[in-house]
Structures are given as structure tokens and as C-alpha cells.
Chain A
């Protein structure tokens, strides 16, 4: 099973709203990632969690707040976003000892009004 699930599939929010994106995997992977992807561009790394600890933050604005409650779950809390934050948000996970094979979820299409 190489499935990563993400909810919701689509999200529309205003600039004053607070919302959260959720990601789940049950493959026993201990590294999980958040990416942002704009149209016609490759994914851009935002955060990396390794063994439930934040290991990489690619200078992401504080209006994005990641959380890893346990080894299977990854959240991305959103607050006071801007319209330019509208994008496809992808979660991925990686298994130990298998090079850098990352398995992506289907993504959340976020629109900020």
C-alpha cells in the first residue's frame, strides 16, 4: 500500500479565516513533507518532518503552521492567507532506507479570496 490521503480535496477561504489541511499515511514512513505547487510549476518544498520533529522549514511565512501529531498524521494550519497563497498543496511521505522515493497525496486545491 503506497497511499497518502489528504483532506479536504478543495478549500476556499477568506483572508481572515483559519483552516487546516490534513494528511495521513499508514505505510510506517517516518518522514513527511508539505509542498506547494503553482500552476505549470514543479512542487516547491515547504516543510519536512522527520520522526515527528520539524527538520526543514524552507523560510515559509508564519501564516503557514505545520504540525505532526503522530507518525501517521501531518497537518498544515492556515491563518491570514493572501490570494497569492492559492495553489495545490501536496503532502508526501518517504520510507527509510529507500533512497529518496517520496509518495505524494492527491493534494488540496486551495483558493484564497
Chain B
């Protein structure tokens, strides 16, 4: 399985600011995903990020609010823009194993917006 790290692990941010979350993988992967886990709830897919193409966003998520970069096969960033308290969540990246088609998750970034 892939080893995935995320930075920062947690942050407390002011309303109206933006935060960029980094996801680093120890091997090259084609598909990366970004999820949101709101307090006490399940995970919801934000977008799929493939290297060399625009991210594909799920219904209810837009690029202006959650811009994503995928500059190479081992790295991606998710920015949460113009934050409000409703954006307080855990944000997780995941990667798809090319051989087993299993998804492996990073440890998550716990974001609190005040």
C-alpha cells in the first residue's frame, strides 16, 4: 500500500481566509481524490485529481471554492477558499492503487474555522 502524508495535520483559521492542504505520496499514482468528513458524518468526495488534467468536481463542489493542483504523480494540493465555519471538517486525500484498485487514505487535515 502507498504511504500518504498530509500537511498541515490541523489548523485553526479565520473566516474569509484560505488554506492550502498538501498531499504527498511515496510512489507515483495516476488517480488522487479529495474527500471531506464533516463532524460526526461520513466522507463525501469533493473531486478527482488526475495528473495533467483538470480536476473533476462532484455535485455541490466548485473549483472557485476548492481549487486543486496536481503538478506531478506524487503530489496534490487542495485549497479551501474564503472559509466559513461551515467548512470546518477533516479533509482527506486518497490514492488509487494501480494494481489492486484499492484506495488508500492520508491521515487527514483537521480544519477549524472561527
A binds B: no
Which B residues fall within an 8 A CB radius of A? none
A residues near B (Cβ < 8 Å) are: none
